Structure 1
Amino acid sequence: MRDSLFIIAAFSEATERPPVWMMRQAGRFMPEYWEIKNKYSFLEMCKTPEIAADVTMLPVDLLGIDAAILFSDILVTGEAMGGDLSFTQGVGPKFANPVRSQADIDKLSDNVGDKLQYVADAIKVIQQRLDGKIPLIGFAGAPFTVMSYLVEGGSSKDFKLTKLMLHNEPEMAHQLLSKIATVTADYLNLQIEAGVNAVQIFDSWAQALSWDDYTEFSHNYIQQIISKLNRKDIPVISFCKGSSVFAPLMAEAKPDVVSIDWNVDLLDIKKRLPQGVAVQGNLDPHILYADKKVIKERIHRLFERMKGENGFIFNLGHGIMPDIPFDNVKYAVEVIKEWAP
């Protein structure tokens, strides 16, 4: 896969056009996804290799993107460690046994490779189906984001309980984060061994943190994880909501690519990053609700801005929303693939 458009761009080498993939590209905006989802629970879909492969392949077959991303969830590590995880339609993920005390942290296991073997099995099935056409991206949730779900017991608007642990019980928070970081590095290496061609670390809730708290409770652990990865020929992408603020610090963890949200000028942030660090992004996903002429104009505006820059992967600043029209997403991919600088 070293000669694929996506991998070349991820390693900051010249490409004839920017490669395209989109976060949440195999998801709820597709009728074909719902045909599968209506038959199985979300966790069944993640844990059944053939079904995970079916969903992973949807945007490959229907959109023609330049990289596939494994269909799974960032919280499978939390579940493998001992979290009682469930997903409810309209509510989202829930952990029935939230982690609030030292005893709760002590109960969590940090040796869980056997419990995540289903992910390795799915990767092997997906790679058979891809048959070398495009690269497969593996991924994991970053320690702070996984911790927030474990501590809150689910999604949160203010992360009050998580921040209370960071501020009142920092030693406990570090123990929990350290366990998650160990599991995450092992999990990403398991994916690499199974055959993914790139990995992305998702810190979905990093924007909840101040600069100092992000440095201490997120960045340091992502740095640890990246340092442990078997990353020869495997680009590492670092993403967080808040990357427009945290990108220079994110680059210090030595990823190959920093994925940027839509709150910043992409060229400006790229010029502030070290030479050889690629950028991914950063179209506001809400643009995909707009008229097609607007979608085309905004993509062209971004591409004109990044013209002549090596190391640029087109993506959204965050994931595709469930009610974005499928035709608009397909049109966006067509516009990108037709781009001739």
Structure 2
Amino acid sequence: MVEFPPLRNDLLLRAARGEKTERAPVWIMRQAGRYLPEFRALRANHEFFEICRTPELATEITLQPIRRYSGLIDASIIFSDILVIPQAMGMEVLMNPGPSFPDPLNTPDDVSKLNQTVDVDKELGYVFQAITQTRIGLDGEVPLIGFCGAPWTLFAYMIEGGGSKTFTKAKMWLFKYPEESKALLLRIADVCVDFLVGQVKAGAQLLQIFDSWAGELSPHDFSLFSLPTLKHISSRVRARLSTQNIPQVPLTLFAKGANYALDELAKDSGYDVLGLDWCIDPSVAREIVQGKVALQGNMDPNVLYGGREAIESAVKRMCDEFKKGNNGEVGAWIANLGHGITPGVDPEDVRWFFECVHKYSARAKA
């Protein structure tokens, strides 16, 4: 077992556990990415999945925003991609520039082309190595987040062959082959469980599950196809950590577009934190979840293009919304964007976002 440096900033972990904090911890989805010139310089000489599969490169990119925003940012998230799971299951995935699958799953018969079993240590060990190296490289400055894609989101990619505006092929599977779809979703979920447990063993201190396409499902279909696999992941991860005497870590679920499911997710999904997109007011979300879970979010990433006055105004409004009904105090809330940062953002405007969160999320003085 690797001895990691002691953690010096546990703000994120305390908020994720539902504790009131002196201010909201803050990080941003895709914070290690294309908006940073240091990322683009490294990426110019390396293919995307080459970086993911090379622990030294993944570690370097993960640490880049921590160096740039030291003292302003409260979490690191390992540089990887949700589509490493379909790769581990035997599918080819290219990035040119977006993800594409040369040989997607067209009918349930194609599932036979997938690997019957997936040894995550063999197929995804490079992620575990990167996590361990990054924990050491962070030197305790902030916690390290591990992640994976949610089964429905991965299922959609595997069948559509890439991104989609209509999700016709993936939804056709749900409606035409419901039992086969549930079986494949559960199979993906089991690989997710193995992968997430491996990340904790490697050093991840919080786990986030990204259901990026949750909002493409109706409430009925989300409850029927996505939610059972999300519950499967949370319960199995906790059970596996317990039986292996590994300390539990907080679990975050970001089901983008599924604000209709917040009440159900808060009640019994097994997650400690629910991520919010920008299409719901934080005060409304807090009223729905009734303190059962912490919340994360939720500024529209495109505000970062609006200049410093717009950024400050949006951050202040976001913080005020999260404080409503809580005596002016920051309860269990993690500041973030409502989705990932996009490539054209000025890194100094990101710095301003962090500075504004520090200013406006501070708990009211007694």
Paired AA for residue 30 in structure 1: L
Output the aligned Cα RMSD: 1.4
* Other-structure match for 1:134: 142
Secondary structure of 1:123's partner?
helix
Q: Take 2:8 and 2:307, find their aligned partners in 1: how far apart are those partners?
A: 36
Counterpart in the other structure of 2:78: 70
Provide the residue aligned with 1:24 in structure 2. 30
* Alpha-carbon separation, structure 2, partners of 1:76 and 1:93: 11
Offset of residue 330 of structure 1: 1.1
On the 8 A contact 2:9/2:141 being kept in 1, the answer is no
Q: Does residue 1:323 correspond to 2:340, yes or no?
A: no
Post-superposition shift, 1:240? 1.7
Letter of the 1:240 partner, please give it.
A
How far the C-alpha of 1:176 sits from its partner, in A, is 1.1
Do residues 55 (structure 1) and 70 (structure 2) align? no
* Contact 2:274 2:296 (C-alpha < 8 Å) held by counterparts: yes
| Alignment equivalent of 1:282, drawn from 275, 280, 298 | 298
Letter matched to residue 308 of structure 2: K
One-letter amino acid matched to 2:118: N
Deviation at 1:107, TM superposition (A): 2.6
Q: Structure 1 residues 2 and 280, CA, compared in 2 at 3 Å: closer, same or farther?
A: farther
Residue identity in the other structure for 1:28: R
Deviates more, 1:121-130 or 1:235-244: 235-244
Percent identity reads: 39
For 2:156, what is the secondary structure of its paired residue? helix
Equivalent-residue separation in structure 2 for 1:239 and 1:177 (angstroms): 18
Query: 1:237 aligned to 2:252?
Result: yes
Q: CA deviation at 1:274?
A: 4.5
- Contact 1:23-1:320 within 8 A present in 2 as well: yes
Q: SS in structure 1 opposite 2:237? A: coil
User: Does residue 151 in structure 1 map to residue 151 in structure 2?
Assistant: no
8 A Cα contact 1:81 1:112, kept in partner: no
* 1:200 paired residue among 197, 208, 226: 208
- TM-score normalized with structure 1 length: 0.96
Indicate conservation of the 8 Å contact 2:8/2:140, yes or no. Answer: no
How far has the Cα of 1:299 moved from its partner?
Answer: 0.7
State the alpha-carbon separation in 2 of the partners of residues 276 and 99 from structure 1. Answer: 38
Q: Secondary structure at the match of 2:209?
A: strand
Give the TM-score taking structure 2 as reference length: 0.90
Cα-to-partner distance string for 1:47-68 (whole Å, 9 max, x where unaligned): 0000000110111111231000
Give unpaired runs (5+ residues) of structure 1.
none
**Partner Cα separation in structure 1 for residue 58 and residue 264 of structure 2:** 34
Q: Counterparts of 2:291 and 2:306 in 1: how far apart (Å)?
A: 35
**Could you say what secondary structure the match of 1:258 adopts?**
strand
2:335 pairs with 314, 317, 334, which one?
314
- Match runs of 1:169-318 below 5 Å: 169-230=177-238, 232-251=247-266, 252-307=268-323, 308-318=329-339
Contact 1:2 1:233 in 2 (8 A): no
- The offset of 1:2, in angstroms, is 9.4
Instruction: Give the Cα–Cα distance (whole angstroms) in 2 for the partners of residues 132 and 204 of structure 1.
Output: 30
Distance (Å, rounded) in 2 between the aligned partners of 1:233 and 1:189: 10
Deviation at 1:303, TM superposition (A): 1.4
- Matched residues in 2 for 1:154 and 1:264: separation? 28
Residue 292 of structure 1, CA deviation = 0.5
Could you say which residue in structure 1 is the equivalent of 2:89?
Answer: 81
Name whichever of 322-331 and 76-85 sits farther off: 322-331
Q: Distance in 2 between matches of 1:5 and 1:107?
A: 45
Cα offset, 1:249, TM superposition: 2.4
The one-letter code matched in structure 2 to 1:320 is I
**Is the deviation greater in 43-52 or in 328-337?**
328-337
Cα displacement (A) at 1:96: 1.3
**1:12 and 2:18 aligned:** yes
Residues 312 and 353, structure 2, Cα contact 8 Å, conserved in 1: yes
Answer yes or no: is the 8 Å Cα contact 1:247–1:260 preserved in 2: no
